[in-house]
Chain A
Amino acid sequence: MLARRFAGVLACAIAVRSAGAQESLRFVGGDATTSREVSQIIEAAAAEGLPAGLILSKARFALAVRTPGPKIVETAKAMVARLVVARQAIAPHKQEGDLAGAEAALSYDVSPEILKRISSASPKQPIAVPLGVLTQLVADKVPAERAGEIVTKLLRLGATTEQLAKLGNDVTADVKVAGYPALDALKMRSNGLIPFLAPSPAAGAATDAAFAGSSTGPKKP
Chain B
Amino acid sequence: MRDSRDFRDSADPVVRRAIDELRRLPRVADERVAEVVSAAAAARMLPPADEPILPERRRSWGRISAAAGLVAAAAVAGFVIRGTMTSPSPSRVVAVTPVTGAAFSADRASEPIVEQFVFKAAQAKRVALIGDFNRWDPSAKPMTRSSDGELWSVSVPIMPGRHVYAFMVDDSVLVLDPRAPKARDPDLGAEGSVRIVGRP
A161→B109 contact, CB < 8 A: yes
Q: Which of B160, B162, B163, B194 contacts A126 (CB 8 A)?
A: B160
Query: Min CB distance, B194 to chain A, in Å?
Result: 6
- The answer to whether the Cβ of B83 comes within 8 Å of any Cβ in the partner chain is no
Q: Which of A65, A108, A161 contacts B190 (CB 8 A)?
A: A65
Closest residue of chain A to B195 (Cβ to Cβ) is A169
Query: Min CB distance, A132 to chain B, in Å?
Result: 3
A67→B109 contact, CB < 8 A: no
Q: Which residues of A contact B197 (CB under 8 A)?
A: 129, 165
**Contact count A vs B, C-beta below 8 Å:** 119
Chain A interface residue count, CB cutoff 8 Å, equals 49
New A-B contacts (14) at CB < 8 Å, excluding given A64-B130, A97-B161: A58-B187, A61-B185, A65-B174, A107-B187, A129-B197, A133-B196, A136-B194, A160-B199, A161-B198, A165-B196, A166-B198, A168-B162, A168-B196, A169-B195
Q: List 29 A-B contacts (CB under 8 A).
A: A24-B135, A60-B130, A61-B136, A61-B164, A61-B188, A63-B136, A64-B130, A64-B168, A78-B187, A97-B159, A97-B160, A100-B132, A100-B161, A125-B106, A126-B106, A126-B160, A128-B159, A128-B160, A128-B161, A129-B161, A129-B196, A129-B197, A131-B162, A135-B162, A160-B199, A161-B160, A163-B198, A169-B181, A172-B194
> Hey, which bits of chain A sit against chain B, CB under 8 A?
24, 53-54, 56-58, 60-65, 67, 71, 75, 78-79, 95, 97, 100-101, 104, 107-109, 124-126, 128-129, 131-133, 135-136, 139, 160-166, 168-169, 172-173, 176-177
> Hey, which bits of chain B sit against chain A, CB under 8 A?
105-106, 109-110, 130, 132, 135-138, 159-164, 166, 168, 174, 181-188, 190, 192, 194-200
